[in-house]
A = this chain, B = another copy of it.
Amino acid sequence: MASIIPLDPAKRKASSALDDLAALVQEDLLAVNDVILSRMQSPVALIPQLAGHLIAAGGKRLRPILTLASARLCEYGGIRHRKLSACVEFIHTATLLHDDVVDESRLRRGNPSANALFGNKATVLVGDFLFSRAFQLMVEDGSLDVLRILSNASAVIAEGEVLQLTTSNNVRTSEQAYLEVIRAKTAELFAAACRIGAVVAARPAPEEEALRTFGLNLGLAFQIIDDVLDYSAEQARLGKSIGDDFREGKITLPVILAYNRGNEAERHFWRRTLEDLDHRRDDLEKAMSYLRRTEALKDAAERARHYGAIARDALGLFPSHPVKDVLLSVVDFTLEREY
């Protein structure tokens, strides 16, 4: 959770918003890490090995942190949210494992993916295990409301993944279809993670709804910006890998906008690269120039700002609170990541 202070102080506030949030819930987060590590154990040694590769390597823990922060914002004084935010992370990890198998990914967060190291078979099955383990933890907690929220989210995620399969490599995917996919695949789990904070604190329905709205729209903004960053010149300058979505033929909002706005030559280019996966030298540069010409990246980010604004307004219901301020900065951070 230590934050490295960036050189440019102007960017410090935005880039450390996630660290600030983690710091605010630090005690809870350490406890969540303990739950995660102890509950991914199994007498079958391959399970903690494989799960640990992804979980212990530790992404940002963004989703469980959202559960912790939401509970804190709701003035929850207990510890149930710790176990439940571990559930959220287990469900997220299970979907990442299955995603990697489905996408045949070789890398995840710059490291070899679980399927690359352990094979598809074990990766599918350990995903199933983590998913079941999440439900076991929820049953231990005993709240049918939480079980309902997360079983619904899980079904919607799976539905979204299948929907994405059927729209994949089709540049004529509509913006609405794209939105429905990212809502199902990403935003619903953000929404559930936040909502659970209000549920454990037994807050009235409007607050639960406000946190659901916050999470859902933060999730949409997060995913759109993620999709924009894959074509970001600034990311490339920072030495980060770009163009993964392009090479896989993933249909994301920047491409949808560029295709709709493009001339016939450009549309032909997008079909060749994303539908036929026929890639040539300098195609990524060409893609980025078309995205620039059609202002697709800029306007995709503009769309993300719309969802960010909804997320921000959703917190208006809550009185002034240190967690509220940091959650608002997280929205800013999500939108202002360099592209």
- A161 touching B46, Cβ below 8 Å: no
* A139 at interface by CB-CB < 8 Å: yes
- A132 touching B144, Cβ below 8 Å: no
Q: With A and B bound together, what is the CA distance between A324 and B22 in angstroms?
A: 58
Distance in angstroms from A74 CB to nearest chain B CB is: 22
- B155 touching A136, Cβ below 8 Å: yes
- B136 touching A124, Cβ below 8 Å: no
Supposing A133-B155, A139-B151, A154-B135 touch, asked if A44 and B124 sit within 8 A by C-beta, the answer is no
Considering only CB atoms and an 8 Å cut-off, how many residues of chain A contact the other chain? Answer: 41
User: Within the complex, which residue of B46, B102, B120, B159 is in contact with A44, where a contact is CB–CB below 8 Å?
Assistant: B159
Q: With A and B bound together, what is the CA distance between A147 and B102 in angstroms?
A: 28
- A124 touching B121, Cβ below 8 Å: no
- A129 touching B158, Cβ below 8 Å: yes
CB-CB contacts below 8 Å: A281-325 with B: none
Q: With A and B bound together, what is the CA distance between A139 and B155 in angstroms?
A: 13
Q: With A and B bound together, what is the CA distance between A147 and B47 in angstroms?
A: 23
- A128 touching B165, Cβ below 8 Å: no
User: Within the complex, which residue of B47, B102, B131, B165 is in contact with A131, where a contact is CB–CB below 8 Å?
Assistant: B131
* A166 at interface by CB-CB < 8 Å: yes
* A110 at interface by CB-CB < 8 Å: no
Q: Which residues of B contact A98 (CB under 8 A)?
A: 124-125, 128
> How many copies, total?
2
Supposing A46-B165, A122-B162, A151-B136 touch, asked if A128 and B129 sit within 8 A by C-beta, the answer is no
* A42 at interface by CB-CB < 8 Å: yes
Q: With A and B bound together, what is the CA distance between A310 and B163 in angstroms?
A: 47
Among residues of B, the one whose C-beta sits closest to the C-beta of A119 is B165
- A101 touching B122, Cβ below 8 Å: no
Q: List 29 A-B contacts (CB under 8 A).
A: A43-B159, A47-B162, A101-B120, A101-B121, A101-B124, A102-B120, A102-B124, A102-B125, A122-B165, A124-B124, A125-B158, A125-B161, A125-B165, A126-B162, A128-B157, A129-B155, A129-B158, A129-B162, A131-B131, A131-B154, A131-B158, A132-B151, A132-B154, A132-B155, A135-B155, A136-B148, A136-B155, A138-B147, A147-B147
Q: A132-B157, A135-B155 are in contact. List 8 more A-B contacts (CB 8 A).
A: A45-B166, A47-B159, A102-B120, A124-B124, A125-B162, A136-B155, A139-B147, A139-B148
- A positions within 8 Å CB-CB of B: 42-47, 95, 98, 101-102, 120-122, 124-126, 128-129, 131-133, 135-136, 138-139, 142, 144, 147-148, 151-152, 154-155, 157-159, 161-163, 165-166
